[in-house]
């Protein structure tokens, strides 16, 4: 299997690149603004960019789209840029996939729901309440419509190993290791399913291997709010100095409306792969810190 991963220097993309390679697949991964070892340049918004890797010449069997503008509040106040980096980039990759006769995998989100009735199954009513959510939904629907046998994986609260350590858990770990005082003002009314990017990579691998298609919800075994998530991490750093301020989402006065009760019921995936064991925040932290 030949797989081209767009956004392979990011959290999900880098884990996919590592796992697929370890499983024996032929993998190329691209970067745009931040290069990592073994990645090639590809600008999804300029398919004719002279420095772009020759994807069509390489002829992948699958194109995995992990790239997007994920800063939810920024998207809310920069709608055109959000459209370009989430929807237009997908439109361009759909054209590339058609040129290569390749399948596509699109990474989506629980922000396609309004957060009133989560956690969600795949067939739950769609109702994005932010620019980010609307654009992610538009992009996933385009992939499903235009590319036969395509996959959409909805994920949420992703954490795990990545070179830049930008994810929520990684930032807390880094500050604790460096003995920095943490000030955390976090919503107690936002619930989701924190998910290890390594599990997303493992799940995507079996779905591609078995020629699955359609929408799958991929989530970790935890279901918790942001305060609980932070406290779970801090348990592994008993000497950490921190101030934790629980607050409701409305009081944060964020530009983008959040789906409060998000996360997933992954019954579809689990019914097809009953022996697949998703990790927990604790299992990740135990391995990361060497503490039981």
- What pLDDT, on a 0 to 100 scale, did the predictor assign at position 145? 98
Backbone angles phi, psi at 82, to 5 degrees: -60, -45
In the predicted model, what is the mean pLDDT of the chain?
96
Composition of the chain by helix, strand, coil, percent to 5: 40, 20, 40
Residue 291 pLDDT greater than 90, yes or no:
no
- What pLDDT, on a 0 to 100 scale, did the predictor assign at position 234? 97
- What pLDDT, on a 0 to 100 scale, did the predictor assign at position 265? 96
Helices (H), the chain: 11-22, 55-58, 72-77, 79-82, 89-100, 131-146, 168-177, 197-209, 226-234, 249-252, 267-272, 281-289
Residue 245 pLDDT greater than 80, yes or no:
yes
Task: Report pLDDT digits (tens) over 125-163.
Answer: 999 999 999 999 999 999 999 999 999 999 999 999 998
Residue 18 pLDDT greater than 80, yes or no:
yes
Domains annotated for the chain, with CATH where assigned, are: 2-158+194-217 (3.40.50.720), 160-191+222-260+277-289 (3.90.25.10)
What's this model's pTM, rounded to 2 decimal places?
0.97
- What pLDDT, on a 0 to 100 scale, did the predictor assign at position 292? 73
């Amino acid at each position: 299997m030949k797989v081209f991963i767009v956004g392979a220097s990011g959290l999900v993309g880098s884990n996919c690149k590592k796992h697929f390679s370890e499983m024996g697949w032929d993998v190329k991964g691209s970067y745009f603004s931040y290069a990592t070892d073994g990645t090639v340049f590809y600008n999804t918004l300029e398919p004719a960019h002279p420095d772009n890797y020759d994807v069509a010449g390489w002829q992948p069997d699958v194109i995995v789209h992990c790239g997007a503008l994920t800063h939810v509040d920024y998207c809310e106040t920069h709608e055109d840029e959000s459209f370009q980096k989430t929807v237009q980039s997908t439109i361009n990759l759909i054209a590339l996939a058609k040129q290569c006769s390749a399948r596509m995998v699109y990474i989506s989100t629980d922000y396609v729901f309004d957060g009133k009735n989560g956690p969600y199954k795949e067939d739950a009513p769609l109702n994005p309440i932010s620019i980010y959510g609307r654009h992610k939904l538009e992009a996933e629907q385009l992939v499903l419509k235009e590319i036969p046998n395509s996959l959409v994986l909805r994920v949420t609260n992703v954490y795990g190993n990545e070179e830049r350590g930008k994810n929520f858990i990684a930032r807390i770990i880094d500050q604790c290791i460096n003995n920095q005082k943490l000030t955390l003002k976090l919503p107690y009314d936002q619930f989701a399913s924190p998910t290890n990017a390594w599990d997303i990579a493992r799940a995507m691998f079996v779905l591609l291997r078995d020629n699955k298609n359609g929408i799958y919800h991929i989530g970790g075994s935890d279901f918790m709010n942001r305060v609980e998530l932070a406290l779970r991490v801090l348990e592994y750093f008993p000497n950490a100095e921190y101030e934790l301020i629980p607050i409701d989402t409305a009081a944060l006065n964020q530009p983008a409306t959040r789906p409060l009760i998000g996360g997933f019921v992954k019954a579809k995936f689990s019914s097809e792969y009953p022996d697949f064991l998703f990790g927990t925040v604790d299992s990740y932290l135990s391995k990361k810190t060497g503490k039981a």
